[in-house]
Amino acid sequence: MNKKTLTTILVVLLVIAAAVAIYFATKPAQEPKEAATEITWWAFPTFAQKDAKDPAGTYEQTLVDAFQAKYPNIKVKLETIDFTSGPEKLVAAIEGNKAPDVLFDAPGRIVEYGMNGKLVSLNDLFTDELKADINNEGLVAACGDGTNYWMYPLSSSPFYMAINKEAFEEADALQYVNLEGDRTWTTENYVKALEALHAAGKLTSSVYCMNQGGDQGTRALINNLYGGSMANADLTKYEVDSPENRKALELVKKLVDDKVLEFGPEINAGGEIELFVNKTLAMTICWGTTAAKINTPNMDFTQVWLPFPSDDGKPVLEYLINGFGIFDNKDEARVKAAKLFVQFLCDSEEVGKANVLATGAFPVRTSFGNLYEGNADYELLTAFTKYYGPYYNTMKGFANMRLQWWTMLQAYLSGNTSLDDALATFQTESNKDL
């Protein structure tokens, strides 16, 4: 009995020792200081893997290997994070001074981190050559805050809508959709299409607003309906309380009350896309190249891509920019290595183009040319790029504004709060820190 107990204790202690040993053995040993510079790269799954079955990070690792082969004295440690918990993880890491060196993300977060003093300025990388090559002021401006550039851009792509063609045909609603040219359409036709679908007993589209997931879709819809916008012209203040936006919100509220539009405070864009893909809803307002790529294999209907409807038929589209930010970890060598790495990923003909293709988006550098020759869908999207609107995602307090946005939609569309109150709260809260 006593022996048994002793043996048990011994075994337990051994197991702990083994576990600790395994842990430290698998942890890479600390390199001596004078050896290679080691940098860490955190990547959201923006690059598509070569084979969808490859685990996250496979493609990224090939890039790291290629870079290390070229610069043997720099070691790159890759970590893949995801959109669901990644943002919180980043905050936690920054908070604890354990930020990565290189982050592959979009301007929204990157510029916010930059303005909070967490990044190194990339002004030295934004040469006149680069700006001339990008040849799009809005896009260049989106990479910084006016004083400093914080993000080195790789590619961009618009957000747009998609409809279920068969569902529209069955409801005789396709007549309201413009399938010619850039496919721009009017608010009037949009409402007629919704009403036709509703009359045919179909669920149309959802104004989802559970959290910030894919909230650019609802903002694009409401801003476009009567030509409203999110911020003032020089992007210094969030300005949603305008006659145009009021009219749009009132229209959406009426459509929701008439059950022509669905109100979805329990879902975000992920949930809305699920409903579109399984044919519960006839359209989605949060479509993009990545969503199309992931979901098309599961769809047994024809998807038609459209810009957002607007009063004057001239849409203003939200868009995504993929690029890199470099954290200031107070180590010159690491910053230098990180800059080299970022330029390696974005600038070289071969790697840069391959990376743009892996994001499924369009190169920011016009010198890369048309990478999607002969693909009708992508030619339509190329046409969409001329409707890119002002990029307010890099304004101060963007994260808080998103929170206020979906809070406002929930408050107003649920009928608990008047439009005046909802807008007033949005205005004060989202501009609080400006």
Partner 1 sequence: MSTMNTMTREQRNMRSPYMIAMTILMVLVALLFIFPFYWIITGSFKSSAEINLIPPHWFPMDSTFAHYERLFWEPAWQWLFNSAFMSFVAMVLVCIVASMAGYVLAKKQFPGRLAIFSLLVAAMALPRQAILIPLVRIMNTLGISDTPWAVILPSVGWPFGIFMMKQFSEGIPGEMMEAARIDGAGEVYTFLRIVMPMLKPAFGALAIFTFIIVWNDYMMQLVMLTSRRNLSIALGIATLQAEFGINYGLIMAGATLGSVPIVLIFIMFQKYFTQGIALGAVKG
Partner 2 sequence: MSTLADNKKLFARSRAIQRQQTKVSYLFLLPALLFFFGFVVFPMIMGIYTSFFNYTMKEFSFIGIRNYIELFNDSTFGQSVTNTLIIAVASVPLVMLFSLWVATVIYQMPVFSRSFFRGVFYLPVVMGSVPVVVVWKWVFHRYHGILNWTLSSLGIISENINWLGEAQYAIWCVLAILFTTSIGQPIVLYVASLGNVDQSQVEASEVDGCSKWQTFLHVKWPSLLPTTLYVAVITTINSFQCFALIQLLTSGGPDGSTSTVMYYLYDTAFRIYRYGYANAMGVILAIIIAAFSAFQFRVMRTDD
Residues 343-402 that bind partner 2 (CB under 8 A): 399-400
Q: What's the gap between Cα 424 and its chain centre?
A: 28
Cβ distance 255 to 222 under 8 Å? no
Contact between 410 and partner 2 by CB under 8 A: the answer reads: yes
Interface segment toward partner 1; rule CB under 8 A; list 63-71, 92-100, 111-119, 146-154:
92-100
210, 220, 225, 364: which one binds partner 2 (CB under 8 A): 210
Q: From the centroid of its chain, how far is CA 231?
A: 19
Judged by CB under 8 A, the residue of 111, 161, 269, 361 near partner 1 is 269
- Interface residue with partner 2, options 416, 418, 420, 434 (CB under 8 A): 416
State yes or no: residue 53 binds partner 1 (CB under 8 A): yes
Q: What single DSSP character describes residue 174? A: G
Q: Which among partner 1, partner 2, none contacts residue 416 (Cβ within 5 to 8 A by kind)?
A: partner 2
Separation between Cα atoms, residue 361 and residue 382, nearest integer Å: 10
Alpha carbon of 55 to those of 27, 50, 59, 171, 249: distances in Å?
21, 10, 9, 42, 42
The entry of partner 2, partner 1, none that residue 179 binds, CB within 5 to 8 Å by partner kind: none
3-state secondary structure of 55: coil
Transcribe 363-378 into DSSP letters. ESSGGG--TTTT-HHH
Instruction: State the nearest-atom distance from the C-beta of 414 to partner 2, in Å.
Output: 5
Residue with tokens 């919704």: 194
Q: Which is nearer to partner 2, 81 or 381 (CB)?
A: 81
Partner in contact with 57, chosen from partner 2, partner 1, none, beta carbon below 5 to 8 Å by kind: partner 1
Binding residue (CB under 8 A) for partner 2 from 74, 104, 105, 118:
118
Tokens of 381: 């999207």
295 counts as binding partner 1 under rule CB under 8 A: yes
- Give the separation between CA 365 and CA 140, rounded to whole angstroms: 11
Does position 333 bind partner 2 by CB under 8 A?
A: no
Strands (DSSP E) found in 14-171: 37-43, 74-80, 102-105, 152-158, 160-164
Could you give the string, one character per residue 241-270, with x where binding to partner 2 holds by CB under 8 A and - elsewhere?
----------------------xxxxxx--
Residues near 124 by beta carbon (within 8 Å), at least 6 away in sequence: none
Count of Cβ atoms closer than 10 Å to residue 164 Cβ: 23
C-alpha–C-alpha distance, residues 328 and 120, integer Å: 5
Binding residue for partner 1, selected from 61, 89, 141, 200, defined by CB under 8 A: 89
**Which DSSP symbol is given to 28?**
P
283 touching partner 2, by CB under 8 A: no
Residue 209 within binding range of partner 2, rule CB under 8 A: yes
Binding site for partner 2 (CB under 8 A): 87-88, 91-92, 94-95, 113, 116-118, 203, 209-212, 263-268, 275, 278, 280, 399-400, 403, 407, 410-411, 414, 416-417
